[in-house]
Amino acid sequence: MAAREKVHSIRFNQDHGCFICCMDSGVRIYNVEPLTEKAHLKESIAGSVGHGEMLHRSNLLAMVGGGAVPKYADNTVLIYDDCKSQLVLEFTFSVPVLAVRLRKDRLVVVCRRQIHVFSFPHSPQRLFTCETRDNLLGLCEVSPLPSADRHILCFPAHKLGAVQLVEK
């Protein structure tokens, strides 16, 4: 694999029917069955991308710059609308973003010592922030429950070896 094709992250969407591949050469989105490339955001559009997440099978992608030739800062989450072929939202933080998670009604942004949860996608507002232990890997998952008004957020707890669960 060429140096310009370095892969930084791979994430399945929520129904595991597609996945996003974030690389130095941009972003590629693949369908699982049949295995085909659905979209490709070239380096000229996205730069190199460190982290990404797609929202189900919608046109919305969350991306964070990273890698060899980032076009955008590593402390900014960009929401890209593939139908409009443009960035539609931007969230900037004072520290690098280590992971991003999407749900139909939530955007979760993971930083080294905090996790920020926003309403999403219409009129995004910060709902709450959780303090975490030093989380260099950006470990965090959000899992929807049967009720659309609730979700479970899990991440490393302050006690070493423990996991914190937050239900909101």
Give pLDDT tens digits for 84-135: 988 899 999 999 999 999 988 889 999 999 999 999 888 899 999 999 999 9
Distances (CA, A) of 147 to 33, 36, 101: 28, 33, 19
User: How sure is the predictor about 1, in pLDDT bands with cuts at 50, 70 and 90?
Assistant: very low
pLDDT, residue 21, reads 95
pLDDT of residue 5: 79
pTM: 0.89
pLDDT at 138 over 80: yes
Q: Is the pLDDT of residue 145 over 70?
A: no
Q: Residue 164 class from Cβ within 10 Å (0-12 exposed, 13-18 middle, 19+ buried)?
A: middle
Annotated domain spans of the chain: 3-133
pLDDT in tens, 45-92: 888 999 999 988 888 999 999 988 889 999 999 999 988 988 899 999
- The answer to whether 62 touches 107, Cβ cutoff 8 Å, is yes
Query: Does domain 3-133 match CATH 3.40.50.720?
Result: no
- Residue whose structure tokens are 């080294």: 112
Pairing verdict, β 151-156 and 163-167: antiparallel
Please give the angle made by the CA atoms of 130, 103 and 40, to the nearest 5 degrees: 115
